[in-house]
């Protein structure tokens, strides 16, 4: 079990990372005086709206296993956050999930317009690869090329974008637990996997270390998503007085609709413990990564 | 002046490249059996619809200056064509230019739906970087990283995406010839620049050779766009009996609306000749690149 002081330590560290990433994104995102300025404003608007910055935290924590300098891991964390932000901007579009609000603020297409939101997402995705391939990110071109390759694989058709496609069509299919797991490993798991792998790529991890990180990311990503489904159901009950299982009634299978609340909760806890075990081959520098899974399954938002 | 036999040679070569790229794209584009298959179908539908394949031709021709193996330059050409295709798919969306047809076929959002078109564009853009960063594209990671960096810069906010933003807002601004030139250098010039630079990156061009290629791309890109504007006006006159200058009346400045037909035509011819002069430092392997500008300004579609 994790002591309260450990969780307090982790919370504090996550808060620091979140602030540092806000600052770093503000500095690294491009600006322009030309007629295209609106595009850059939209990129900034979407990227600087706060958020937990879980993925950047994972990049920094995994990089610190190998004593990678923070300036480098921060740039990689910013690149990843650009991709995460682009995915939110496009997912919020009227033709996708059609959301007007995100974190209590108008979504990018509401604040600007749809065309600007599409382009801002495109430009954020593109900019992520510009950051990663820049010699400032890492002096070794092999590391830069490997970071680009890993991020492209995890966010493309076989990763995040493919997951979003499955999700959009999910109401048309009966999905079993295996298919929901695959969907979530693509849609949300893929960027979590990149976040953890990035430290290993920058730090030239051994094969065993790299596999340990991948297994950790796998379990953490699933635990994260199961808790998301749980919070969705629990949130709905409190806020809207709706019955448990509304997603299932709406035709979309989730971990909770398939497993029920109790088994889903048990599964998340089990995955969190399992994630930590994968880190056994690392030393004390893995402390934050060890604390995170418990924090993730016990979060309330 | 360019002899008719030279133009015939160039036409034949362009036809060969176009076929080779169709085949290569068909092989390199990913497939899937899962529920995400629709995404891959849309990526293929948009990419394999034909077209002149001018940018791939430029990649292959610039790479051949340095005897870069065709297998390598073909992969880079495919990556570039993925980016070009993504830009067309997103530009055709209802919130952008709202086009139902492209090359006589339904646009991607008409053939599938808007969400699929947004995602297919996203996945094509992402896949371009996966191709470039793959060791199969080049054994030297520095070349891979430099290709990624150049493509990201040319297609992002300071390149193609920024150009599209300016174009979307163009009706709101009075634009002079300098601003129209800047817009077009970003919107269409940027990918032409990458196409020509790519050969220099793969071939480890000297600084002088690289500058020569950039200057060539600059003039060729502008000549290409001026002719596009001319064909738009001439096409309109024949097809719809409308007066010259409809784009200007519609509030959008073009080279033709600002210069008039005659001066625009003279300007295009001058740029084409100038482009060829930049290639003086290269040997006979530059023959196709030397023929291309004249072909571009004399094209009828």
Instruction: Give one DSSP letter per residue of B194-263, joined into a string.
Output: HHHHHHHHHTT--HHHHHHHHHHHHHHHHHHHHHHHHHHHHHHHHHH-PPTTHHHHTT---HHHHH-HHH
State mean pLDDT over A79-96.
98
Task: Output the CA–CA distances (angstroms, integers) from residue A229 to A101, A244, A261, A301, B74, in the order listed.
Answer: 19, 11, 9, 11, 45
Return the half-sphere exposure (C-beta side, CA atoms, 13 A cut-off) of residue A92.
27
- Residue closest to A227 by CA, chosen among A275, A195, A194: A275
CA distance B135 to B133: 6
Pseudo-torsion of CA A197, A201, A203, A206, nearest 10°?
90
Contact list, A157 vs chain B (CB under 8 Å) = 30, 32, 36, 39-40, 43, 123, 126-127
Probe site for chain B from A90, A116, A133 (most B CB atoms < 10 A): A133
Confidence grade of residue B247 (pLDDT, cut at 50, 70, 90): low
Q: What is the DSSP string of A194-248?
A: HHHHHHHHHTT--HHHHHHHHHHHHHHHHHHHHHHHHHHHHHHHHHH-PPTTHHH
Pseudo-torsion of CA B116, B122, B127, B133, nearest 10°?
-170
User: Which residue carries 């317009």 as its tokens?
Assistant: A113
Query: In this model, does residue B28 exceed pLDDT 90?
Result: yes
Return the half-sphere exposure (C-beta side, CA atoms, 13 A cut-off) of residue B260.
2
Q: Is B34 on the interface with A (CB under 8 A)?
A: yes
Model-level pTM?
Answer: 0.95
The confidence score (pLDDT) of residue B84 equals 98
- Residue closest to B289 by CA, chosen among B186, B226, B213: B213
The shortest C-alpha distance from A300 to chain B (Å) reads 31
Q: Residue B175 has what DSSP assignment? A: -
Pseudo-torsion of CA A183, A189, A190, A196, nearest 10°?
-170
The confidence score (pLDDT) of residue A236 equals 56
pLDDT, chain A, mean: 93
**Which chain B residue's Cα is nearest to A151?**
B130
Strand residue runs (E) in A80-215? 101-102, 105-106
- Residue B191 in tokens: 């990918």
The residue range of the domain holding B84 is 4-297
Residue B161, SS3?
helix
pLDDT by residue (tens digit) across A192-215? 999 999 999 999 999 999 999 999
Q: Which of the residue ranges A31-40, B148-157, B275-284 would you say has the lowest mean pLDDT?
A: A31-40
Query: In this model, does residue B12 exceed pLDDT 60?
Result: yes
Of B123, B153, B173, the CB nearest to A130: B153
**Which chain A residue's Cα is nearest to B121?**
A122
Query: In this model, does residue A240 exceed pLDDT 60?
Result: no
Query: In this model, does residue A47 exceed pLDDT 70?
Result: yes
Q: Which residues contact B68 (CB under 8 A, 6 or more apart)?
A: B199, B202, B203
The domain that holds A52 is classified in CATH as: 1.10.600.10
Q: Which of the residue ranges A201-215, A247-261, B97-111 would you say has the lowest mean pLDDT?
A: A247-261
Residue B105, SS3?
strand
- Could you say which residues from 99 to 128 on chain A have a Cβ atom under 8 Å away from some Cβ of chain B? 113-116, 118-119, 121-123, 125-127
**Which chain B residue's Cα is nearest to A182?**
B34
Instruction: Identify whether the C-beta of residue B82 lies closer than 8 Å to the C-beta of residue B126.
Output: no
Burial of A267-287, coded b for 16+ CB within 10 Å and e otherwise, reads bbbebbebbbebbeebeeebb
- Residue A263 in tokens: 């088994």
Tell me the Ramachandran region of residue A283: left when phi exceeds 0, alpha when psi lies from -120 to 50, beta otherwise: beta
Query: In this model, does residue B248 exceed pLDDT 70?
Result: no
The confidence score (pLDDT) of residue B4 equals 79
Q: Which of the residue ranges A90-99, A244-253, B283-292 would you say has the lowest mean pLDDT?
A: A244-253
The confidence score (pLDDT) of residue A242 equals 36
**Which chain B residue's Cα is nearest to A150?**
B130
Q: Is A250 on the interface with B (CB under 8 A)?
A: no
- Reported ipTM: the value is 0.95
Query: In this model, does residue B242 exceed pLDDT 70?
Result: no
Burial of B75-96, coded b for 16+ CB within 10 Å and e otherwise, reads bbbbbbbbbbbbbbbbbbbbbb
pLDDT, chain B, mean: 93
Of A36, A130, A168, the CB nearest to B152: A130
Q: Total structural domains in chain A?
A: 1
Confidence grade of residue B238 (pLDDT, cut at 50, 70, 90): low
The shortest C-alpha distance from A157 to chain B (Å) reads 6
Interface contact flag, A119 B165, Cβ < 8 Å: yes
- Residue B257 in tokens: 């609306």
Query: In this model, does residue A101 exceed pLDDT 60?
Result: yes
Q: Is A158 on the interface with B (CB under 8 A)?
A: yes
State mean pLDDT over B45-62.
95
Residue B127, SS3?
helix
Q: How many CB atoms lie within 10 A of CB A100?
A: 11
The confidence score (pLDDT) of residue B240 equals 39
- Residue B94 in tokens: 């209802």
Instruction: Identify whether the C-beta of residue A128 lies closer than 8 Å to the C-beta of residue B157.
Output: no
Probe site for chain A from B84, B137, B162 (most A CB atoms < 10 A): B162
- Residue closest to B175 by CA, chosen among B255, B233, B112: B255
Confidence grade of residue B249 (pLDDT, cut at 50, 70, 90): low
């Amino acid at each position: 079990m994790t002591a309260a002081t450990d969780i307090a330590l982790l919370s504090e560290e996550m808060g620091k990372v979140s602030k540092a990433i806000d600052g770093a994104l503000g500095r690294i995102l491009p600006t322009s005086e030309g007629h295209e300025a609106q595009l850059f404003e939209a990129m900034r608007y979407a990227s600087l709206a706060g958020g937990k910055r879980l993925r950047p935290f994972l990049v920094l924590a995994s990089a610190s296993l190998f004593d990678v300098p923070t300036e480098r891991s921060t740039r990689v964390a910013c690149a990843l956050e650009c991709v995460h932000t682009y995915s939110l901007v496009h997912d919020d579009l009227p033709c996708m999930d059609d959301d007007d609000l995100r974190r209590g603020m108008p979504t990018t297409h509401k604040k600007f317009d749809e065309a600007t939101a599409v382009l801002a997402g495109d430009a954020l995705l593109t900019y992520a690869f510009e950051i990663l391939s820049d010699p400032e990110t890492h002096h070794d071109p092999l590391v830069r090329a490997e970071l680009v390759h890993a991020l492209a694989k995890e966010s493309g058709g076989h990763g995040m974008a493919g997951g979003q496609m499955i999700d959009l069509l999910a109401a048309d299919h009966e999905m079993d637990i295996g298919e929901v797991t695959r969907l979530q490993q693509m849609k949300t798991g893929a960027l979590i996997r990149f976040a953890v792998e990035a430290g290993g790529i920058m730090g030239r991890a051994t094969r065993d270390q790299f596999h340990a990180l991948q297994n950790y990311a796998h379990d953490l990503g699933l635990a994260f998503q199961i808790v998301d489904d749980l919070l969705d159901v629990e949130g709905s009950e409190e806020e809207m007085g709706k019955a448990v299982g509304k997603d299932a009634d709406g035709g979309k299978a989730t971990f909770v609709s398939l497993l029920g609340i109790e088994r889903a909760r048990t599964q998340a806890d089990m995955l969190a413990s399992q994630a930590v075990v994968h880190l056994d081959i690392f030393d004390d520098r893995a402390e934050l990564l060890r604390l995170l899974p418990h924090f993730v399954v016990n979060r309330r938002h």
